[in-house]
Structure 1
C-alpha cells in the first residue's frame, strides 16, 4: 500500500495577498501521520487551527476560503494545488494573516518552495486514498463537473474552458494525468486571469489595487494587456490548477477521472463536499467489515446492557495502548425521548460514558486485567465541541497514557467523521469483578 507523506523539514515563505495586498508570512512544517493539511493562524492571541476539510469551506467571491471559528484562510487554492500535486498528505502551514501570498497568480512559488525541502514517506501510515467507484456530478446552470471511475490509477482531469464570447481567450480544452513532473512542467506556472472589465470593477471596490496588468493576466478582446501568455492555453491550465487545489478539500488523495465544463471554485467545492461525504461513508462501510470486537464479544467483556451499552463494535486495537470503537446513534435511543423532544441531541455525559466504556475494553486487553472492571474515578479537561444527533456515527478513540497497578488513565476523543465532538482525560480504578 502507498504510505502517507509529509515534508522533510520546515521552510518559510512570504509575499503579499493577491486580493488584499497585505504582507503575509508562511511557515511550512512537517506533520504527524493522519494530521492532514492544517493551516494555523498565528496572528490571534491563541493560535487557531483551520483544517483543510469540506466542513470548513466558506463562500468568498472569485477564490477559495476556509473558516474555523473567528479564523479565515483566503486564497489557499494555489498553495493547496502544489501540496496536492506533490502527494503531501500531512503538513502544517502557519500563517500570520487572512490571505495567502499571491505572487504572480500561479502555484509556482509554492511548488518550488516545497520541492526545495522535499517529501518523505511515513511508512507506518497507509494512504487514505479515495478511489471513485461511482459517478458523482454537480451541475449549476451551464457549468458542470463530473467525477467518474477510471481504469487507470491516480487522478486524470479534463477541463473545457468556454470563453467563445471573449476573443482574447476563446475556447480551450486540456487533459492530463496528474503527477509531480507534469504539474511542475505544464501547470505550476499557469497564472490566474480576469477580464479587463472585471479588473476595473474589483479595483473600484478596493480589491487588488496594488496590482497592474504586468503582475497578473488582465485580458481584453486582443489578449493580455501589457503582458504575454506563457502558453497559448494558459487560462485553461490555470483552471486545472484551481481544481487540483479545491480537491484538497476532500481531505484525502482522490483517484479517478474529473471532467469539468466552465467550473469555478463554487462548483469545484460542491463536488469536493460530495466526494468527502462519499469517502467517509466508504470508510465506515470498510470499518464495519473489519470489526475487531463485535457486540457479542463486547458483551463478554463489559457488564453494561441496554439501554446503557454505548459501544456497538471495536474496529481497531493497537496492543494495550490504543483503541477505536463505534457507536451508531439512532433516533430509537431511549434518551432522545426526553433530550430533547422535537430537537434530539445526545447528552454530552453519555458521549463521555461511551468513551469510558471503550477505555474499559482497552484495559481488558491486558491479561492481568482480565476479570477486572474499569470503574471511572475522575474526568478532566472535558470539552463538548459539537452536538451529536440521530444518524451520526460516533468514532470513539482512547489512548492509555498511564496504567499502574490498580489505576489507569486515558486520553479520549470522540469524532463524527473528521470533526472532534468531545474530548476528555479519564481516570479509572481497576477492581475485581466479584467485588462489584
Structure 2
C-alpha cells in the first residue's frame, strides 16, 4: 500500500464542471470516434448516448446492461451497443464522477493508447461539482467469490474502511508474460499516477490471431503492448508490472457497473472481464438489497415518529413495557 490510509466516508454525488471531449479510434472497428462528456443532474448516473443513431438511444452504465464479449466489456440497451466501455468507466469511477451524459458518435469507444490516461487528463481538466444528493455506497461486510481455482475474483471487508484492489497475474509456462502482481488503495491521485497509464496488452501470437480475423488491422505496436519472448515489440513498459496494473484498471472499470461506490478489498487471481462482470452482478444485487433495507428502516422510523406525534397531540402518555 502506498501512502497513508484513506478511510471512505459518506460523500455527495459529483458531476463534471464543464463539458469535455476525447477523440480517437476504436481498436476493433478502426472507426474515428468522439466521446463528449457533459455534466448531468444528480441521480442520473453514467448515461451513454449514441448520437450517430437517429433515435439517439440511451443506456445507463449498469451491469444489468452488460454483454459478454471477448477481451472487452460492452453495454447493450435495445438495438444500441456500446463497445469497450471499461477504460472510461474506470476513469469516471476513480475520479468520483457519478453523474454524466456521455455522447458517443460510434458504437465503439476510442482505444487511445490502450490506457485510461487521456480520459483522466480530460476529465481532470473538466473539474468536479459537488451535488446535493448523497452518493449511494456499498460497504462489503462478508466474503464473496466468483470463479474457480484456476481464476477468481473476490470481495472482502477492508480493515480500515478503505477501497483496495489487487491483481495476481499468472499465465501458463508458454506465455512470454511473466507472473506479476499489483495492489493499491484506490484514491483519485493514485489512480492517475499508478493505474491510468497502464496499457492493454496481448501476446504476439494473440495479435496475429486477431488480425487473421480481419479485426484491428489498423492497430500498430505503438497502440498497445504486443509482447513476445523479448518483451514489448517496438515499445517499452511504463511499469515493470504494467500488465497486472492494466488488469487492475479493467477490474475497477468493470466493477463500476455496480452503479454505487464500493468499499472493500477486491482481489483477482487470473480474472478477466467475464469474472469481473459476475462480481459486479453480485455487488449490484447486494446494493439493491441494502437500499431496500434502508428504505424500509426509514419508513418504519417515519411511521413510529408519526404514532408518537399522535399520542403526544392527544395527551396520552406512552409507556414502554418493562
Tell which has more relative contact order, 1 or 2 (C-alpha 8 A, sep 6+).
2
Highest Rg: 1 or 2? Answer: 1
Alpha-carbon separation, structure 2, partners of 1:167 and 1:267: 21
Shift of 1:25: 1.1
Summarize deviations over 1:327-368 as a string: whole Å, max 9, x none.
Answer: xxxxxxxxxxxxxxxxxxxxxxxxxxxxxxxxxxxxxxxxxx
Counting strand residues as a fraction of each chain, which structure ranks higher? 1
- Is 1:6 aligned to 2:12, yes or no? no
Contact 1:29 1:91 in 2 (8 A): yes
Alpha-carbon separation, structure 2, partners of 1:166 and 1:240: 23
Q: Which residue of 2 aligns with 1:263?
A: 271
Shift of 1:141: 5.5
Shift of 1:214: 2.3
SS of residue paired to 2:190: helix
Summarize deviations over 1:20-73 as a string: whole Å, max 9, x none.
Answer: 111111110011111111111111111111111111001111100000000010
Alpha-carbon separation, structure 1, partners of 2:149 and 2:56: 40
1:245 to 208, 233, 253: 253
Contact 2:36 2:102 in 1 (8 A): yes
Q: Which residue of 1 aligns with 2:235?
A: 227
Summarize deviations over 1:411-431 as a string: whole Å, max 9, x none.
Answer: xxxxxxxxxxxxxxxxxxxxx
Q: Which residue of 2 aligns with 1:31?
A: 40
1:159 to 163, 167, 177: 167
Contact 1:26 1:96 in 2 (8 A): yes
Summarize deviations over 1:364-388 as a string: whole Å, max 9, x none.
Answer: xxxxxxxxxxxxxxxxxxxxxxxxx
Alpha-carbon separation, structure 2, partners of 1:166 and 1:271: 29
Q: Which residue of 2 aligns with 1:289?
A: 297
- Is 1:109 aligned to 2:151, yes or no? no
Q: Which residue of 2 aligns with 1:21?
A: 30
Contact 2:46 2:99 in 1 (8 A): yes
Contact 1:30 1:90 in 2 (8 A): yes
Two-structure CA RMSD over aligned residues (Å): 1.6
Gaps of at least 5 residues in structure 2 are 1-9, 307-322
SS of residue paired to 1:6: strand
Contact 1:18 1:101 in 2 (8 A): yes
Alpha-carbon separation, structure 2, partners of 1:167 and 1:36: 40
Alpha-carbon separation, structure 1, partners of 2:61 and 2:258: 8
Contact 2:113 2:222 in 1 (8 A): no
Aligned residue pairs, count:
296
Contact 1:140 1:267 in 2 (8 A): no
Contact 2:175 2:203 in 1 (8 A): no
- Is 1:130 aligned to 2:138, yes or no? yes
Gaps of at least 5 residues in structure 1 are 298-436
Change (3 A) 1:209 1:253: same
Alpha-carbon separation, structure 2, partners of 1:222 and 1:12: 37
Q: Which residue of 2 aligns with 1:430?
A: none
